[in-house]
Amino acid sequence: MTWGVVATVKADTKAILQFAAYHLDAGAHRVFVYLDEDDEAARLALKAHPKCRVTRCTQGYWRKLTGKRPVKHQVRQTRNATRVYVRADVDWLAHIDVDEFLVANEPINAMLADLPKHVQTVRARPMELLAGGNGTAFKAFVPPLFWRHSVVSRIYPTFGPQLRDGFMSHNSGKLFARTSMDEVEFRIHNVFRNGEKNPGEVELNKLRLAHCHATNWAHWMAAYRFRVTSGSYRSDLAAGHDGMNLHSVLTGIEATKGEPGLRRFFDEVCMDTPALRTRLKQAGLLQRADLGLDEKTARHFPQI
Protein backbone atom coordinates (compact mmCIF):
# COMPACT_ATOMS: atom_id res chain seq x y z
CA MET A 1 0.00 0.00 0.00
CA THR A 2 1.65 3.23 -1.15
CA TRP A 3 0.80 6.82 -0.32
CA GLY A 4 1.90 10.28 -1.26
CA VAL A 5 1.32 13.95 -0.52
CA VAL A 6 0.76 16.92 -2.79
CA ALA A 7 1.24 20.58 -1.86
CA THR A 8 1.28 23.86 -3.72
CA VAL A 9 3.88 25.93 -1.91
CA LYS A 10 5.16 29.46 -1.58
CA ALA A 11 7.87 29.25 1.04
CA ASP A 12 11.62 29.45 1.52
CA THR A 13 14.01 26.65 0.55
CA LYS A 14 14.32 25.30 4.07
CA ALA A 15 10.57 25.02 4.65
CA ILE A 16 9.97 23.32 1.29
CA LEU A 17 12.66 20.71 1.84
CA GLN A 18 11.62 20.13 5.45
CA PHE A 19 8.12 19.34 4.23
CA ALA A 20 9.38 16.89 1.62
CA ALA A 21 12.00 15.26 3.87
CA TYR A 22 9.58 14.73 6.74
CA HIS A 23 7.05 12.87 4.59
CA LEU A 24 9.71 10.86 2.80
CA ASP A 25 10.95 9.79 6.22
CA ALA A 26 7.39 8.91 7.23
CA GLY A 27 7.19 6.48 4.33
CA ALA A 28 5.72 8.50 1.46
CA HIS A 29 6.30 6.78 -1.87
CA ARG A 30 5.86 10.09 -3.67
CA VAL A 31 6.02 13.78 -2.72
CA PHE A 32 4.49 16.13 -5.30
CA VAL A 33 5.50 19.77 -4.90
CA TYR A 34 4.05 22.58 -7.00
CA LEU A 35 6.07 25.76 -6.71
CA ASP A 36 3.63 28.67 -6.68
CA GLU A 37 6.74 30.84 -6.70
CA ASP A 38 9.96 29.37 -8.02
CA ASP A 39 12.78 28.47 -5.65
CA GLU A 40 15.71 27.21 -7.67
CA ALA A 41 17.59 25.56 -4.80
CA ALA A 42 14.52 23.66 -3.61
CA ARG A 43 13.52 22.78 -7.16
CA LEU A 44 16.89 21.28 -8.01
CA ALA A 45 17.08 19.35 -4.74
CA LEU A 46 13.60 17.92 -5.20
CA LYS A 47 14.26 17.08 -8.84
CA ALA A 48 17.33 15.09 -7.83
CA HIS A 49 15.38 12.93 -5.36
CA PRO A 50 13.86 9.80 -6.96
CA LYS A 51 10.67 9.97 -4.91
CA CYS A 52 9.92 13.65 -5.48
CA ARG A 53 8.16 15.35 -8.36
CA VAL A 54 8.43 19.12 -8.65
CA THR A 55 6.58 21.51 -10.98
CA ARG A 56 7.06 25.23 -11.52
CA CYS A 57 3.70 26.99 -11.73
CA THR A 58 4.68 29.52 -14.38
CA GLN A 59 2.27 31.62 -16.42
CA GLY A 60 2.82 29.15 -19.26
CA TYR A 61 1.91 26.25 -16.98
CA TRP A 62 -1.38 27.88 -16.03
CA ARG A 63 -2.21 28.92 -19.60
CA LYS A 64 -1.86 25.30 -20.67
CA LEU A 65 -3.82 23.94 -17.70
CA THR A 66 -6.68 26.41 -17.22
CA GLY A 67 -6.22 29.25 -19.71
CA LYS A 68 -4.91 31.67 -17.10
CA ARG A 69 -3.50 31.68 -13.58
CA PRO A 70 -6.30 31.52 -10.98
CA VAL A 71 -6.31 34.60 -8.77
CA LYS A 72 -7.05 32.81 -5.49
CA HIS A 73 -4.30 30.63 -4.07
CA GLN A 74 -6.90 28.16 -2.81
CA VAL A 75 -8.02 27.54 -6.39
CA ARG A 76 -4.43 27.04 -7.53
CA GLN A 77 -3.91 24.53 -4.73
CA THR A 78 -7.00 22.48 -5.53
CA ARG A 79 -6.39 22.51 -9.29
CA ASN A 80 -2.90 21.14 -8.78
CA ALA A 81 -4.05 18.50 -6.30
CA THR A 82 -6.77 17.32 -8.68
CA ARG A 83 -4.28 17.21 -11.55
CA VAL A 84 -1.95 15.00 -9.53
CA TYR A 85 -4.75 12.74 -8.36
CA VAL A 86 -5.61 11.45 -11.83
CA ARG A 87 -2.00 10.50 -12.57
CA ALA A 88 -0.46 9.73 -9.18
CA ASP A 89 1.44 6.44 -8.92
CA VAL A 90 0.30 5.79 -5.35
CA ASP A 91 -2.70 4.07 -3.77
CA TRP A 92 -3.58 7.01 -1.51
CA LEU A 93 -2.98 10.75 -1.95
CA ALA A 94 -3.18 13.47 0.72
CA HIS A 95 -3.56 17.14 -0.18
CA ILE A 96 -1.88 19.24 2.53
CA ASP A 97 0.09 22.47 2.99
CA VAL A 98 3.80 23.08 3.37
CA ASP A 99 3.43 23.81 7.10
CA GLU A 100 1.48 20.60 7.79
CA PHE A 101 2.97 17.24 8.74
CA LEU A 102 1.21 13.88 9.01
CA VAL A 103 1.93 12.29 12.39
CA ALA A 104 1.21 8.69 13.41
CA ASN A 105 2.55 6.24 15.97
CA GLU A 106 2.61 3.42 13.43
CA PRO A 107 3.48 3.24 9.73
CA ILE A 108 0.98 5.20 7.68
CA ASN A 109 0.99 2.64 4.87
CA ALA A 110 -0.03 -0.08 7.34
CA MET A 111 -2.86 2.06 8.68
CA LEU A 112 -4.17 2.64 5.17
CA ALA A 113 -3.76 -1.02 4.22
CA ASP A 114 -5.94 -2.07 7.17
CA LEU A 115 -8.93 -0.04 5.97
CA PRO A 116 -11.87 -1.88 4.38
CA LYS A 117 -12.44 -1.40 0.66
CA HIS A 118 -15.52 0.79 1.10
CA VAL A 119 -13.43 3.46 2.84
CA GLN A 120 -12.42 5.91 0.12
CA THR A 121 -11.39 8.99 2.11
CA VAL A 122 -9.57 9.34 5.43
CA ARG A 123 -9.54 12.49 7.55
CA ALA A 124 -6.64 13.52 9.78
CA ARG A 125 -7.64 16.11 12.36
CA PRO A 126 -5.17 18.89 13.13
CA MET A 127 -3.16 19.75 16.18
CA GLU A 128 -1.75 23.27 16.22
CA LEU A 129 1.81 24.11 17.22
CA LEU A 130 2.42 26.18 20.33
CA ALA A 131 4.62 29.03 19.15
CA GLY A 132 8.00 30.07 20.48
CA GLY A 133 8.87 26.84 22.26
CA ASN A 134 10.96 23.86 21.24
CA GLY A 135 8.53 22.81 18.51
CA THR A 136 7.20 19.69 20.23
CA ALA A 137 4.06 20.95 22.00
CA PHE A 138 0.71 21.15 20.21
CA LYS A 139 -2.88 21.96 21.11
CA ALA A 140 -5.39 19.29 20.10
CA PHE A 141 -8.62 19.59 18.19
CA VAL A 142 -11.69 20.23 20.36
CA PRO A 143 -14.69 18.33 18.96
CA PRO A 144 -17.81 20.48 18.40
CA LEU A 145 -19.63 19.17 21.47
CA PHE A 146 -22.05 21.28 23.48
CA TRP A 147 -19.39 22.08 26.12
CA ARG A 148 -16.72 23.21 23.63
CA HIS A 149 -17.27 26.90 24.40
CA SER A 150 -16.76 26.46 28.15
CA VAL A 151 -13.58 24.42 27.58
CA VAL A 152 -12.13 27.06 25.25
CA SER A 153 -13.05 29.85 27.66
CA ARG A 154 -11.21 28.12 30.53
CA ILE A 155 -8.07 27.60 28.45
CA TYR A 156 -8.02 31.18 27.10
CA PRO A 157 -9.53 33.29 29.90
CA THR A 158 -9.34 36.66 28.11
CA PHE A 159 -9.99 35.80 24.45
CA GLY A 160 -11.62 32.38 24.72
CA PRO A 161 -15.19 33.71 24.73
CA GLN A 162 -14.51 35.18 21.27
CA LEU A 163 -12.97 32.00 19.84
CA ARG A 164 -14.83 29.08 18.34
CA ASP A 165 -12.32 26.36 19.20
CA GLY A 166 -9.03 27.96 20.28
CA PHE A 167 -7.36 27.31 16.95
CA MET A 168 -5.85 30.05 14.82
CA SER A 169 -6.35 28.06 11.66
CA HIS A 170 -8.66 25.29 10.45
CA ASN A 171 -9.99 22.51 12.64
CA SER A 172 -11.32 20.53 9.68
CA GLY A 173 -8.08 18.70 9.02
CA LYS A 174 -7.08 17.28 5.65
CA LEU A 175 -7.95 14.20 3.63
CA PHE A 176 -6.33 11.17 2.10
CA ALA A 177 -8.21 9.84 -0.94
CA ARG A 178 -7.89 6.48 -2.67
CA THR A 179 -6.64 7.08 -6.19
CA SER A 180 -8.89 4.39 -7.65
CA MET A 181 -11.94 6.68 -7.83
CA ASP A 182 -13.16 8.36 -11.02
CA GLU A 183 -14.27 11.96 -11.50
CA VAL A 184 -12.62 13.25 -8.34
CA GLU A 185 -11.97 16.88 -7.48
CA PHE A 186 -9.97 18.03 -4.47
CA ARG A 187 -10.91 20.99 -2.33
CA ILE A 188 -8.86 22.36 0.55
CA HIS A 189 -10.49 20.19 3.24
CA ASN A 190 -12.68 17.85 1.21
CA VAL A 191 -12.93 15.65 -1.87
CA PHE A 192 -15.82 15.40 -4.30
CA ARG A 193 -16.63 12.49 -6.60
CA ASN A 194 -19.41 13.24 -9.08
CA GLY A 195 -20.81 15.73 -6.59
CA GLU A 196 -20.61 13.35 -3.63
CA LYS A 197 -18.66 14.82 -0.72
CA ASN A 198 -15.95 12.68 0.87
CA PRO A 199 -17.20 9.24 -0.25
CA GLY A 200 -16.73 6.50 2.32
CA GLU A 201 -15.09 8.87 4.80
CA VAL A 202 -13.60 7.77 8.10
CA GLU A 203 -11.69 9.77 10.69
CA LEU A 204 -8.58 8.15 12.13
CA ASN A 205 -7.77 9.36 15.64
CA LYS A 206 -4.32 7.78 15.44
CA LEU A 207 -3.47 9.89 12.39
CA ARG A 208 -2.90 13.55 13.18
CA LEU A 209 -2.00 16.62 11.17
CA ALA A 210 0.66 18.70 12.93
CA HIS A 211 0.04 22.25 11.77
CA CYS A 212 2.92 24.68 12.30
CA HIS A 213 0.71 27.69 11.72
CA ALA A 214 2.86 30.07 13.77
CA THR A 215 6.36 29.24 14.94
CA ASN A 216 6.89 32.55 16.77
CA TRP A 217 5.60 36.13 16.96
CA ALA A 218 7.67 37.39 14.01
CA HIS A 219 6.54 34.49 11.82
CA TRP A 220 2.91 35.13 12.72
CA MET A 221 3.10 38.86 12.05
CA ALA A 222 4.84 38.32 8.71
CA ALA A 223 1.83 36.30 7.53
CA TYR A 224 -0.86 38.24 9.39
CA ARG A 225 -1.89 40.77 6.73
CA PHE A 226 -2.25 38.17 3.99
CA ARG A 227 -4.22 35.84 6.27
CA VAL A 228 -6.62 38.61 7.27
CA THR A 229 -7.35 39.61 3.70
CA SER A 230 -7.09 36.35 1.75
CA GLY A 231 -6.13 33.45 4.00
CA SER A 232 -7.27 31.65 7.12
CA TYR A 233 -8.47 34.83 8.90
CA ARG A 234 -10.49 36.24 5.99
CA SER A 235 -13.90 37.75 6.62
CA ASP A 236 -16.07 35.13 4.90
CA LEU A 237 -15.16 32.24 7.20
CA ALA A 238 -17.52 30.77 9.80
CA ALA A 239 -18.37 32.68 12.96
CA GLY A 240 -17.73 31.59 16.52
CA HIS A 241 -19.87 31.31 19.62
CA ASP A 242 -20.87 34.98 19.73
CA GLY A 243 -21.31 35.48 16.00
CA MET A 244 -17.78 36.78 15.44
CA ASN A 245 -15.19 35.03 13.33
CA LEU A 246 -11.45 35.32 13.74
CA HIS A 247 -11.32 38.10 11.18
CA SER A 248 -13.69 40.20 13.30
CA VAL A 249 -11.81 39.41 16.48
CA LEU A 250 -8.37 40.27 15.14
CA THR A 251 -9.33 43.37 13.17
CA GLY A 252 -11.30 44.61 16.17
CA ILE A 253 -8.29 44.17 18.44
CA GLU A 254 -6.03 45.86 15.92
CA ALA A 255 -8.41 48.79 15.47
CA THR A 256 -8.69 49.49 19.21
CA LYS A 257 -5.40 48.27 20.67
CA GLY A 258 -3.00 48.22 17.72
CA GLU A 259 -0.06 45.85 17.50
CA PRO A 260 0.34 45.62 21.32
CA GLY A 261 -3.22 44.27 21.45
CA LEU A 262 -2.44 41.68 18.82
CA ARG A 263 0.63 40.69 20.79
CA ARG A 264 -1.45 40.13 23.93
CA PHE A 265 -3.83 37.97 21.93
CA PHE A 266 -0.94 35.99 20.45
CA ASP A 267 0.72 35.49 23.83
CA GLU A 268 -2.44 34.03 25.36
CA VAL A 269 -3.68 31.92 22.45
CA CYS A 270 -0.51 30.83 20.65
CA MET A 271 2.60 31.08 22.83
CA ASP A 272 4.16 28.00 24.38
CA THR A 273 4.04 29.01 28.04
CA PRO A 274 3.91 26.85 31.19
CA ALA A 275 0.49 28.32 32.00
CA LEU A 276 -1.00 27.41 28.62
CA ARG A 277 0.54 23.94 28.71
CA THR A 278 -1.01 23.38 32.13
CA ARG A 279 -4.48 24.47 31.04
CA LEU A 280 -4.29 22.36 27.87
CA LYS A 281 -3.10 19.35 29.87
CA GLN A 282 -5.93 19.73 32.39
CA ALA A 283 -8.39 19.71 29.47
CA GLY A 284 -6.70 16.69 27.88
CA LEU A 285 -5.67 18.76 24.89
CA LEU A 286 -1.88 18.94 25.19
CA GLN A 287 -0.19 16.77 22.58
CA ARG A 288 3.48 16.15 21.86
CA ALA A 289 5.34 15.36 18.66
CA ASP A 290 9.00 15.78 17.79
CA LEU A 291 9.01 16.33 14.04
CA GLY A 292 12.81 16.25 13.75
CA LEU A 293 12.72 18.45 10.66
CA ASP A 294 16.38 19.48 10.53
CA GLU A 295 17.66 15.93 11.01
CA LYS A 296 15.36 14.52 8.34
CA THR A 297 16.17 17.28 5.88
CA ALA A 298 19.89 16.64 6.27
CA ARG A 299 19.31 12.94 5.67
CA HIS A 300 17.22 13.26 2.52
CA PHE A 301 18.77 16.43 1.06
CA PRO A 302 22.41 16.42 2.20
CA GLN A 303 23.41 18.72 -0.65
CA ILE A 304 21.60 21.69 0.95
For position 125, what pLDDT does the model report?
96
Closest CA to 217 of 159, 271, 141: 271
CA 84 to each of CA 93, 175, 185, 212, 303: distance values in angstroms, whole numbers, following the listed order: 9, 14, 10, 24, 27
Task: List pLDDT tens digits, range 36-73.
Answer: 999 999 999 999 999 999 999 999 999 999 999 999 99
Which ranges in the chain are annotated with CATH 3.90.550.10? Answer: 3-142+170-214+289-300
69, 72, 78, 81: CA torsion to nearest 10: 50
The mean predicted confidence, pLDDT, of the chain is: 95
Per-residue confidence in pLDDT tens, the chain, 304 aa: 999 999 999 999 999 999 999 999 999 999 999 999 999 999 999 999 999 999 999 999 999 999 999 999 999 999 999 999 999 999 999 999 999 999 999 999 999 999 999 999 999 999 999 999 999 999 998 887 778 889 999 999 999 888 888 899 999 999 999 999 999 999 999 999 999 999 999 999 999 999 999 999 999 999 999 999 999 999 988 766 555 789 999 999 999 999 999 999 999 999 999 999 999 999 999 999 999 999 999 999 998 8
Phi/psi at 183 (5° precision): 55, 50
CA 225 to each of CA 61, 234, 283: distance values in angstroms, whole numbers, following the listed order: 28, 10, 32
Of 3.20.19.10, 3.55.10.10, 3.10.450.50, 3.90.550.10, the CATH number of 3-142+170-214+289-300 is 3.90.550.10
Q: How far is CA 82 from the centre of its chain?
A: 17
For position 273, what pLDDT does the model report?
97
For position 63, what pLDDT does the model report?
97
Task: Report how far residue 143's alpha carbon sits from residue 106's, in angstroms, rounded to the nearest whole number.
Answer: 23
